[in-house]
A = this chain, B = another copy of it.
Amino acid sequence: MESALSLSTSRMLARSPFQLHGRSRFGLLNIYPQFRRNINYYLPRFPFKSHAPHNLQVSASISARPSSELRKKPNNSEPDDKLTAIRELFVRPDINIDAYIIPSQDAHQSEFIAECYTRRAYISGFTGSAGTAVVTKDKAALWTDGRYFLQAEQQLHSGWILMRAGNLGVPTTSEWLNGILAPGSRVGIDPFLFSSDSADELKEAISQKNHELVCVYDVNLVDEIWKESRPKPPNRLVRVHDLKYAGVDVSSKLSSLRSELSNADSSAIVISMLDEIAWLLNLRGSDIPHSPVMYAYIIVEIDGAKLFINDAKINPDVMDYLKNAGIEVRPYESILSEVESLAAKGARLWLDTSSVSVAIVNAFKSACDKYSSTSGNANKNTRAVANGPVTKSRGPAAVYKSSPISFAKAIKNEAELEGMRNSHLRDAAAMAQFWAWLEEEIGSGAILTEVDVADKLLEFRSRQDGFLDTSFDTISGSGANGAIIHYKPEPNKCSIIDPEKLFLLDSGAQYIDGTTDITRTVHFGQPSSWEKECFTRVLQGHIALDQAIFPDNYPGFVLDSFARSSLWKIGLDYRHGTGHGVGAALNVHEGPQSISFRFGNMTPLLRGMVVSNEPGYYEDHAFGIRIENLLCVKEAHTPNCFGGVDYLGFEKLTFVPIQTKLCDLSLLSTTEIDWLNDYHKQVWEKVSPLVEGSAYQWLKDNTRPVVKP
């Protein structure tokens, strides 16, 4: 699928939701926001029916249902009542604010979130994945980006102003607040929904007009008016991720983490990113569609660890597992009080302020101040610099530093890679079955919608061993819909697959042992020479990145231009990054690495990282092209090692044919033709043993070598 930036990356680059609405220094290219996919405003209630075979044991078994059955229309009624109700709360003495900002995020900066946290969608009606709502005493405005202007126009409740972020003259949220509020106003936020960094930026921006940023702790104003109709927080059972897939046991991971703590002169760390918690504990959950994670926090200290989670999610086996690992279970809601008690016992707490909420950071700061004043400790400096000089007078202190889990999780171990390889082969088998079926159906004149096709793909995938869920909502776009990069077909209004147009399919799955993400673009009839030229140039970019060799420790953006070069030659480009990180049986988008034109991300590409390779080209109102494989960074074993560094390259994880009918072979160099033939040879060798019948034949037909004319 195309490269929306992964979460952690976006945190590095655009730490505040408000920044996203600023004008770009790179014109059109950079106004592209970090996330493509919609917030999942439905909460699937999968039956606990196991599809897992005995050799791929799923601890808490799960099965997915087609999204067409689950999707429901958002409630579009009573917009004014909601605004009236929320404004009545503004004047409550314990709240007392002049404006309230409702961001898209949950308390963990998740890309996909549970329905009960879709507050921005509830209050405004707008369900797109990116957007910020701001309500003042007499105005309500919603900021979103170019991908969502049309959708927001259709969905926004009456009384809302649409702020087309990135358009000339459109203010940012803070600029708007500075313009319309009387100086010295009070701007409220739910401090759990803002990272400490983004709250700091907001505070700074609105202080220009002497506005005060007010953290409203005790109540989320949207929840307060949502009342009974608000979905319950998800509460699904947590399962243990088998060591044969995780590769490293939880004790070893905790031990490494504790070494990092010691090295940073810290005694504890609080982690709030859900995939970091899942990775650290070798646990998986199903609180959120597509992401096998559970809502929780964890605090790891040198001599203990506490998991903050609703204990209804923990069955006795998992409870034993946690106990064996020395992890205590605490209520999810008690995170703040525990953070405060850490200060009381003099902890030096590692906080990644780009992900940890301002609620947590402030709770610790305040508790530190309290400690300092009550103990008469002269050392008022509660901000320690990691690796800095150690002061003799020790008290509680915050150590502000990026999460050490982010890199550890991104660099896959051999077991994780093996799981990724294996799950990709099964996924490829499902894809071969699917494409064989689809070509036959279309060939025999069947009328299929984009959703029909996505549902059928899910059916094929769900028959594969260890299948759990899709890894994101399938993007199934015929003709012009393929040009909408975030396109999500809706059952009642999606298109019929047009055999005379290009068809783009971007999909992925969560398996017990790995996560997949693949895009193929095909034509069922006769593509035009223009479509072929565009496809071929996208393919050239894909090949150039796939074949790239580069020095160890180089940032990913250096490779981004390789994937665009062939398109640039004729003045074409695509408005998204080329590659994002992918978790191992975890989130389909993860950081910290990326291959993108977001040049601020200096994260180096390192052995064992998994990235997508997905250049594309999109012609508005006509067609979309994207070719996506997942790759793993590996040593290239070059004959020389100039500079004493190793040179790295990529290993392909995805093995599904690329439609050669769409290639203009005269444009491809001999090297590129060789790449294509070699890739198809590997596809045949690896996947043909896994399929039979029409899928076997389809695979044979679609992996035949081509010859340069």
Contact = CB atoms under 8 A, between A and B. Distances in A.
A649 to B, nearest CB: 9
A116 interface: no
Given A553-B27, A555-B599, A643-B27, A565 B562 contact: yes
Interface string A624-641: 000000000000101111
Contact of A639 (B561, B565, B570, B671): B570
B555 A573 contact: no
Given A28-B645, A570-B639, A639-B571, A602 B599 contact: yes
A480 interface: no
Interface stretch (A155-163, A543-551, A579-587, A675-683): A543-551
A640 to B, nearest CB: 4
Interface in A556-570: 557-562, 565, 567-570
Nearest to A567: B642
Contacts of A569: 549, 638
Contacts of A670: 669
B555 A550 contact: no
Contacts of A93: none
Nearest to A671: B669
B553 A568 contact: no
A644 interface: yes
Given A561-B561, A565-B562, A569-B638, A643 B29 contact: yes
Contacts of A575: 643
A25 interface: yes
A90 interface: no
Interface in A394-408: none
A572 interface: yes
Given A28-B645, A558-B561, A669-B670, 10 more contacts: A27-B645, A29-B551, A29-B643, A548-B568, A549-B569, A550-B568, A557-B599, A568-B638, A571-B641, A669-B669
29 contacts: A25-B602, A27-B645, A28-B643, A28-B644, A548-B565, A548-B568, A549-B565, A549-B568, A549-B569, A549-B571, A551-B573, A555-B599, A558-B560, A558-B597, A561-B561, A562-B562, A562-B565, A567-B642, A568-B638, A569-B638, A570-B638, A571-B636, A571-B640, A571-B647, A573-B642, A573-B643, A599-B599, A669-B670, A669-B671
Interface of A: 25-29, 208, 389, 548-551, 553-555, 557-562, 565, 567-573, 575, 597, 599, 602, 636, 638-645, 647, 669-671
Q: List the 3 closest A-B pairs by CB distance, nearest first.
A: A571-B638, A571-B640, A28-B643
